[in-house]
Structure 1
């Protein structure tokens, strides 16, 4: 029996382990699997109607980006990251996103800008609804559009490695943190891109991620420990 509210399995059109990975990520972000909780391969396989092999592969992928710890004998558990880990990732993202904005700025056309505007509006709407999972998904889409527009495969690869880690765990602390100013910073990035102002876009993107880094450093650990009663597996 699946946990109540678990998302439907989007199998089809991609590797089975990739689909399982997406489901597990969504479940972690929705709080169905909490920090320190064990994810049982056999149970997940039964819930999703697969063998254990794609579940194990998905868990190994999640372990590679630090979202779970995976041991062949003890199974997998959702990690409780440190605030420094999350802050460090956002600090790296600050330079990555600045570079992406610099390269992408002159390549922006009206269709891409329209997509960014729509995504920013969705972000604001989800924030107002306090739907933090959907809000972080829109946030990730906003930054991914810029990374993709840069047409730099190295930027896109590093972005895809770093983005799920922070996005997964930030949803656990957002309900108690005022992030209005963080969300509003996307407007500054967007306006610079609309002007094709590469310098201003880079500054805005860098500043935004540095502020996210400070959010993790100052708020994440205390809030998450409060929710989990100080528990969690390292």
Structure 2
């Protein structure tokens, strides 16, 4: 059976959103490698969908730079550069700061408990070397704060950039000690639960700027590697 619109079985979720989430999960978990082709027809057949929602999902991923679309070569996975990820973190610094400021007086006890669990999960999964699980907990932590802000425009902007957050961790975790960065989530949570809107905003901003600094360092390394390669070619 094929479909191309919202399905009651998915709780009203657009099929293209389901496909987009699946492709992102596969990129994060290494099922789709950078440069590898994502075949529209094969994916549609696998999922039992028409090609329309698959095509829409790939176009949306191309719009945020995770996929490239070529008329003859189809869709291929694209790994954003460290500089691109640093730029996203700079924008996220302000988005997350505003979200934390707005959410500080709005968090329910249940949301606070979930945020605490997510911080513990990040640290536990990092110790286990389960990097995809760290990315899931990290994105969910920030997503909950944005959702608690009550600002729909802020939430929509966050969702556009969330794939880059997952890419950052996937790109960085195997090579860099990010334990201190993960601990910064506790600083954000402490300020949120005080509640201290200004302190929460400052902590959220510092966290993302720390991420940006890390990615700029990685970008410098990438540039050095490219320069070295050019000199030896």
- Per the alignment, do residues 220 and 125 of structure 1 end up closer, same or farther by CA in structure 2, a change over 3 Å counting? farther
Distance 2:51 2:108 in 1: 45
- Per the alignment, do residues 140 and 58 of structure 1 end up closer, same or farther by CA in structure 2, a change over 3 Å counting? same
- Per the alignment, do residues 166 and 56 of structure 1 end up closer, same or farther by CA in structure 2, a change over 3 Å counting? same
Distance 2:40 2:211 in 1: 33
Q: Is 1:175 matched up with 2:168?
A: no
Please say which structure displays the higher CA radius of gyration.
2
- Per the alignment, do residues 23 and 220 of structure 1 end up closer, same or farther by CA in structure 2, a change over 3 Å counting? farther
Distance 1:220 1:122 in 2: 29
> Where has structure 1 moved over 4 Å in runs of 4 or more?
220-223
How many equivalent residue pairs? 216
- Per the alignment, do residues 62 and 221 of structure 1 end up closer, same or farther by CA in structure 2, a change over 3 Å counting? farther
Counterpart in the other structure of 2:125: 126
Report deviation, 1:220: 6.3
2:10 to 9, 12, 30: 12
Q: CA-to-partner distance for each residue in 1:21-45, whole Å, 9 max, x for gaps? A: 1111111001111111111112222
Report deviation, 1:87: 0.1
Distance 1:166 1:74 in 2: 27
- Preserved contact between residue 83 and residue 219 of structure 2 (Cα < 8 Å): no
Deviates more, 1:158-167 or 1:214-223: 214-223
Instruction: Report the secondary structure of 1:196's partner residue.
Output: coil
Counterpart in the other structure of 2:43: 44
Counterpart in the other structure of 2:5: none
Q: CA-to-partner distance for each residue in 1:24-71, whole Å, 9 max, x for gaps? A: 111100111111111111222222232222211110011111111113
Q: Is there any run of 5+ residues in structure 2 with no aligned partner, and where?
A: 1-8
- Preserved contact between residue 173 and residue 220 of structure 1 (Cα < 8 Å): no
Distance 2:221 2:42 in 1: 31
For the aligned residues, what is the CA RMSD? 2.0
Q: Is 1:78 matched up with 2:114?
A: no
Counterpart in the other structure of 1:205: 204
Report deviation, 1:221: 7.9
Report deviation, 1:166: 2.8
Counterpart in the other structure of 1:63: 62
Q: CA-to-partner distance for each residue in 1:60-107, whole Å, 9 max, x for gaps? A: 011111111113332111113221110000010001111111111111
* Structure 2 counterparts to residues 50-199 of structure 1, below 5 A: 50-199=49-198
- Greater RCO, CA 8 A, separation 6+: 1
TM-score normalised by L of structure 1: 0.86
TM-score normalised by L of structure 2: 0.86
- Preserved contact between residue 132 and residue 174 of structure 1 (Cα < 8 Å): yes
